[in-house]
Structure 1
Amino acid sequence: MGSIELKGVEKWFGDAQVIKGIDLEITDGEFVIFVGPSGCGKSTLLRMIGGLEEISRGSLIIDGRDATSEPPSKRGLTMVFQSYALYPHMSVRDNMGFSLKTAGAPKAEIEAKVNEAARVLKLHDYLDRRPKDLSGGQRQRVAIGRSIVRDPTAFLFDEPLSNLDAALRVEMRYEIAKLHQTLDSTMIYVTHDQVEAMTLADRIVVLEAGRIAQVGTPRELYERPANLFVAQFIGSPAMNVVEVTTGEGRYTLPGGRGGAWTGSAASRLGVRPEDVTIAAPGEGQLDATVDVLEYLGADTFVILDTAVGRLTVRADGASDLRPGQEIGLVFDETRLHFFDDAGLALAR
């Protein structure tokens, strides 16, 4: 079992409140990712679950028992940090089995668990090496293996891929996804990288200034953001947001063009870069001038100057657009997002 529940959890450092009443249920075997900008409280919240930070108010329930005041060693959780924290003088085998050895486990049990973790993480060929002889990705796998041998209730990952280069990050994302499928264990993962969040999570918890802005699957957050913060944080490139006026069954952009809208009064319109089609000048909702082209192979991100500010469009990689070219922009009317004055999403 590995269910975790937070009830009204708060964290205060003196007079500063950094976690502001978090209510969250994580089911057994779920992969949940905390994501948000720097300073939003995601690592602090993870450390509170792990017992490395005290909970100022509220309660933490692990598998039905109140673990709010339990020390880290009693919670049955294990943490994998950004730094590998491996013992340089020990072999991979000894690093992975160290926690079991200090707990007095029999040698046969230690060997069996280390070998099983090495099998899962493909580390058998490296068991007798020392950390200095390994790549960054291999060291991170050793750090994960050290956690696996403890057979924890849940794994807590605190930005484990931040120290890796781009290629290794992609490789380790795959390794962690496969690990979750293999172990079927509860995992809570902190990152500032939304690509990691979108590709790994069963559910994403978006944090803003110590509060939960939205919880949902990656698809739910991308297609149905609850507010303007989530809409612009989730997605790369970010959602384009422009000011609009609404009334008489339509929305109107600066310049007088727009389209149909029969919902509540909106002050801003959001449209994803892939939901805009490039057309001839004068067509669609806006005219624009091509400013910069970012060629990425299959896609080209087209950065545009418009009457409502800078917008980004995702175009085909074979696009023949050129800087300075005048174009029109056609919005996909079925995929627009509208927000009120408070930044809350309006029902479509």
Structure 2
Amino acid sequence: MSAITLKAVEKWYGPVQVIKGIDLEVHAGEFVVFVGPSGCGKSTLLRMIGGLEEISRGQLMIAGRDATSEAPSQRGLSMVFQSYALYPHMSVAENMGFSLKTAGAPKAEIDAKVGAAAEVLKLEEMLERRPKDLSGGQRQRVAIGRSIVRDPTAFLFDEPLSNLDAALRVEMRYEIAKLHQRLEKAMIYVTHDQVEAMTLADRIVVLDAGRIAQVGTPRELYERPANLFVAQFIGSPKMNVMPCTTTGGRWSIEGGRGDENAPEGAVHLGIRPEHIEVLPAGQGDCDVRLDVVEYLGADTFLVCDGGPLGRLTVRVIGNTVLRPGAVCGLRFERTMMSFFDANGQTLR
């Protein structure tokens, strides 16, 4: 059964359309992540699902019922924002149980639900503390706990970790993944962080200028992007894309060499940094000059000047004897190459 279904959903601000006919189905218990560049509409779409933005056209279904015109409080959803928005004069327990208290729930029920949420989030020893006594990660867990006690149909997360430092983001990413496994509730998560998207999602929705560019598992998007936009947006470093020509099933690149087995109509060749082999100059598919060596411990990125091919990035394991200024050859792994037509659509 679907937890949330969007049918031809649009959002207009006067004459300006920002969400352009979104069709999407989020299954019960599924973790779906919205990603895309700034201004693509991912937070707007989330707020439309939550009822904080009006749906101009289209239909929203929640747990099988039409919720297009329902008030936010009627939708059975719970939102967690970038801002914790905790009441500073209330304890952790009071913050978590506030929505139940205002709804008139009995104290015993509130205590039970707050206690259960605190156990899930490892907040049992902090229930009497005030928000000022907590770290950023602990405050975010309280904000999540406030959502859990409502037992919603689905959780909506709007960049909840962006205010945290790098170490806390890693910790909270783990906490959210474990939370999803325990609660088995649908979750929709907005982020600009590709690591969060790739590690948390069952499926990723890539948005581009208010439209869905592709929906799929992290592996599908990474290995089989539907178009040039997704190919260069998903992955860090991004996919290397260079101009190519195809004639009679053979591809070639300017200033380099070529090979057979290419789809007709391809004008761009794409290859991920880890699918390139470094060889001596004069060997492989092209020669490049090494500009920058970025040592990251387990991996090293070689940023190369490919002349007419543009800047190319190669991922190698650990350290390398190559230094800036060196000229080397690159060979592309044949089974991992992507080809795109003049409209940016994937041919293979």
CA contact (8 A) 2:256 2:287 kept: no
CA contact (8 A) 1:2 1:153 kept: no
CA distance in 1, matches of 2:4, 2:249: 46
Counterparts in 2 of 1:5-44, with a 5 A limit? Answer: 5-44=5-44
Q: 1:212 is paired with a residue of what secondary structure?
A: strand
Q: 1:318 is paired with a residue of what secondary structure?
A: coil
Q: Percent identity?
A: 74
CA distance in 1, matches of 2:49, 2:183: 21
CA contact (8 A) 2:279 2:331 kept: yes
CA distance in 1, matches of 2:262, 2:98: 64
CA distance in 2, matches of 1:211, 1:109: 43
CA distance in 2, matches of 1:263, 1:318: 36
CA contact (8 A) 1:246 1:265 kept: yes
CA contact (8 A) 2:225 2:231 kept: yes
Q: TM-score, with normalisation over the residues of structure 1?
A: 0.99
Q: TM-score, with normalisation over the residues of structure 2?
A: 0.99
CA distance in 1, matches of 2:303, 2:51: 46
The aligned residue for residue 52 of structure 2 is 52
CA distance in 1, matches of 2:319, 2:16: 52
Matched, 1:320 2:341: no
How much has 1:2 moved relative to structure 2? Answer: 6.2
How much has 1:321 moved relative to structure 2? Answer: 1.1
Equivalences, count: 347
CA contact (8 A) 1:300 1:315 kept: yes
Counterparts in 2 of 1:167-186, with a 5 A limit? Answer: 167-186=167-186
CA contact (8 A) 2:244 2:253 kept: yes
How much has 1:318 moved relative to structure 2? Answer: 2.1
For each residue in 1:122-175, what CA deviation from the matched residue of structure 2 results, as whole angstroms up to 9, or x when unmatched?
A: 001111110011000000000000000000010000000000000000000000
CA distance in 2, matches of 1:112, 1:24: 35
How much has 1:255 moved relative to structure 2? Answer: 2.0
RMSD (Å), alpha carbons: 0.8
CA contact (8 A) 2:2 2:25 kept: no
CA contact (8 A) 2:256 2:286 kept: no
CA contact (8 A) 1:2 1:186 kept: no
Counterparts in 2 of 1:328-347, with a 5 A limit? Answer: 328-347=329-348
CA distance in 2, matches of 1:27, 1:49: 14
Counterparts in 2 of 1:112-151, with a 5 A limit? Answer: 112-151=112-151
How much has 1:261 moved relative to structure 2? Answer: 2.4
The aligned residue for residue 199 of structure 2 is 199
CA distance in 1, matches of 2:40, 2:319: 39
How much has 1:249 moved relative to structure 2? Answer: 2.3
For each residue in 1:4-33, what CA deviation from the matched residue of structure 2 results, as whole angstroms up to 9, or x when unmatched?
A: 100000000011100000000111110000
The residue type paired with residue 335 of structure 1 is M
- Against the structure 1 CA distance between its residues 172 and 198, is the aligned structure 2 distance closer, same or farther, given a 3 Å change threshold? same
The residue type paired with residue 247 of structure 1 is T
The aligned residue for residue 95 of structure 1 is 95
